[in-house]
Amino acid sequence: MERLGKISVWLLLLLCPCLAGAQEPTKAFDAKETVLGHIGDSYEWHIASFGGHDLHVSLPVIVHSPASGWHCFSSEHLREGGEYEGLRVAAEGEHKGKIVERQADGSDLRPLDLSITKTVMGLFINSLLLLVLVLGTARWYKKRKVDSPAPRGFVGLMEILVSSLVDGLIKPCIGENYRRFVPYLLTVFCFILLNNLMGLIPIFPGGANVTGNIAVALVLAFASFLAINLFGSRAYWKEVFWPDVPAWLKVPVPLIPLIEFVGVLTKPFALMIRLFANMMAGHAVILSLTCVIFVTVEMGMAINSSMTVVSVLFSVFMNCLELLVAFLQAYVFTLLSAVFIGLAQEHKAPEKA
């Protein structure tokens, strides 16, 4: 019975390319475009195509242009290169794939774009989910007394997560006054982790490349930047602007302070790039592996079938790896934020040997 199941799965895998090949024989498949399209943002949430018919979720477009004021409409109007209220999605040029407004002189102007795009929608869904999960856990605790039995299931998982993060990461990294940073670091960890995991789910509520978008990573890194520097101690700022080095290194030309100041900026910048690049690369690799199936359609049945098997196996492997990376990146972001905060908190002078 088990063997029969395995065989049927393999047969199904072998048949898939035939079906795919039968359906879109005319259009040449552009792997780069597909991958970049999925990684990037879009004004509608594409779910699937059935033989020329697209299944998608239309999202609201909110645009303010200096010429014509506010526009707010469904992205349905912009599909297939449509133009609505003088706005359209640019197919070419500097703002490719973004909404532009045609000016009187024929040039395109990029208006202020506050549209609820795919990434924003994913962000909202994930934020809501995070709120529900954490506040639900908090509610569970509120409803119970101290002497009730320990939680099981999801609440137990949250408890293990929270207590291991606080005791194993935040407390040792920051030091004595770690308490004020605990809510921020836990929020960041859960936020990144949930967004990463939701990004791995391939269909509608998940699948948006939220943390692999530089704007999201930018905001998170900026938050860590504020947490590091707003609560930095005097010793920390002295170390930045008047470090303990020979005077000629800092008086005529503030060489070391300049380097230190650049260091202050590069820390959150590295946080941002790390999160963004890791998550984006993960999505790109999985999508590329899936694209292998469609790229090899034209190479004949035998190659296509074998490549399909390889692609599925590699995709499964990459998905497992990405599960690890999703956790690891959330952990690393939190860990490094905590370490940097801890460095800025150090008010004792370093012990002289």
Partner 1 sequence: MDLGVIGAAIGAGLAAIGAGIGIGRIGASAMEAIGRQPEATDKIRTNMIIIAALVEGVALFAVVICFLAL
Partner 2 sequence: MGLLQPESGLVFWMLLSFVIVFILLAKYGFPVILRAIDSRKEYIDASLEAAREAERKLENIRSDGRKLLDEAEQRQREILREASETREQIIREARRKAESEGQRIIAAAQEQASAERDAILQDARHQVAVLAVAVSEKMLRQKLADETSQTLLAERLLDEVEQTEKQ
Euclidean distance between the first and the last CA atom of the chain, given in angstroms as a whole number: 71
CB of 194 to partner 2, least distance (A): 10
39 interacts with, out of partner 1, partner 2, none, CB within 5 to 8 A per kind: partner 2
Choose the one of partner 1, partner 2, none that binds residue 172, judging by a C-beta under 5 to 8 angstroms depending on kind: partner 1
- The least CB distance from residue 56 to partner 2, in Å, is 20
**Contact present, 329 and 278 (Cβ < 8 Å):** yes
- Using CB under 8 A as the binding rule, whether residue 72 contacts partner 2 is answered as no
Q: What backbone phi and psi angles, to 5 degrees, belong to 242?
A: -140, 65
Residue 277 is a binding residue for partner 1 (CB under 8 A): yes
**Which 318-337 residues touch partner 1, going by CB under 8 A?**
331-332, 335-336
**Coil, helix or strand for 117?**
coil
Q: Is 168 in the site for partner 1 (CB under 8 A)?
A: yes
The amino acid present at 143, given as its one-letter code, is K
CA distances from 74 to 43, 55, 89, 95, 271 (A): 9, 16, 13, 20, 35
Asked if residue 262 binds partner 2 (CB under 8 A), the reply is no
Amino acid at the residue 341: I
Is there binding between residue 220 and partner 2 (CB under 8 A)?
yes
Residue count, binding to partner 1 (CB under 8 A): 14
Picking from 228, 236, 220, 215, the residue whose alpha carbon sits closest to that of residue 265 is 228
Concatenated DSSP letters of 34-101 = HHHHHHS--SEEEEEEETTEEEEEE-EEEEEETTTEEEEEEGGGGGGG--BTTEEE--SSTTTTSEEE
Give the binding site for partner 2 (CB under 8 A): 36, 39-41, 62, 96-98, 112-117, 119-120, 123-124, 127, 130-131, 134-135, 137-138, 141-142, 144, 146-147, 150, 158-159, 162-163, 166, 182-184, 186-187, 190-191, 213-216, 218-220, 223, 280
Give the binding site for partner 1 (CB under 8 A): 168-169, 172-173, 270, 273-274, 277-278, 331-332, 335-336, 339
